[in-house]
């Protein structure tokens, strides 16, 4: 089951996670407002399915909404989803293989649009 979570972050800020079962696939930086965190989720739901994939390990370039495959200093690969203005919205953990990074992208593209949103900042 895929879902988004809105969580409290440091200093009264908010962050977003996209999960499969209990595993966090991608997460955002901190946002000053909950509205910005919700906008991040709405943008991923709307724009991720049609976003291109740019493999930076092959010196590919891209613009608009896009997923980027990045290699870290340890030779592992992670995924960034960037907005049309080039700002990173979410990123993944580091994967040992590029194939796993591609699987992460495929899962976000396929499952984000229909994913539920849990707001964990609301107290019951």
Q: Are 28 and 115 in contact (CB under 8 A)?
A: no
- Mean pLDDT along residues 63-90: 96
User: Which is higher by pLDDT, 122 or 116?
Assistant: 116
Indicate if the pLDDT at residue 113 is higher than 70: yes
The band of 122, judged by pLDDT with boundaries at 50, 70 and 90, is confident
C-alpha torsion sign, points 9, 13, 19, 22: positive
Three-state secondary structure string covering the chain: CEEEEEEECHHHCEEEEEEECCEEEEEECCECCHHHHHHHHHHHHHHCCCCEEEEHHHCCCCCCCEEEEEECCCCCEEEEEECCCCCEEEEECCECCHHHHHHHHHHHHHHCCCCEEEECCCCC
CATH code reported for the domain at 2-119 = 2.30.29.80
- Mean pLDDT along residues 95-107: 96
pLDDT tens by residue, 3-58 = 999 999 988 999 999 999 999 999 999 999 999 999 999 999 999 999 999 999 99
């Amino acid at each position: 089951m895929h879902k988004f979570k809105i969580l409290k972050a440091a200093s009264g800020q908010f962050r977003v996670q996209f999960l499969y079962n209990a595993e966090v696939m991608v997460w955002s930086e901190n946002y000053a407002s909950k509205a910005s965190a919700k906008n991040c989720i709405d943008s991923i739901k709307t724009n991720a399915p049609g976003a291109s994939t740019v493999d930076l390990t092959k010196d590919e370039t891209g613009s608009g909404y896009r997923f980027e495959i990045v290699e870290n200093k340890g030779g592992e690969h992670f995924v960034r989803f960037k907005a049309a203005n080039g700002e990173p919205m979410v990123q993944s953990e580091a994967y040992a293989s590029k194939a796993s990074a591609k699987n992460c992208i495929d899962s976000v593209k396929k499952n984000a649009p229909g994913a539920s949103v849990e707001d964990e900042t609301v107290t019951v």
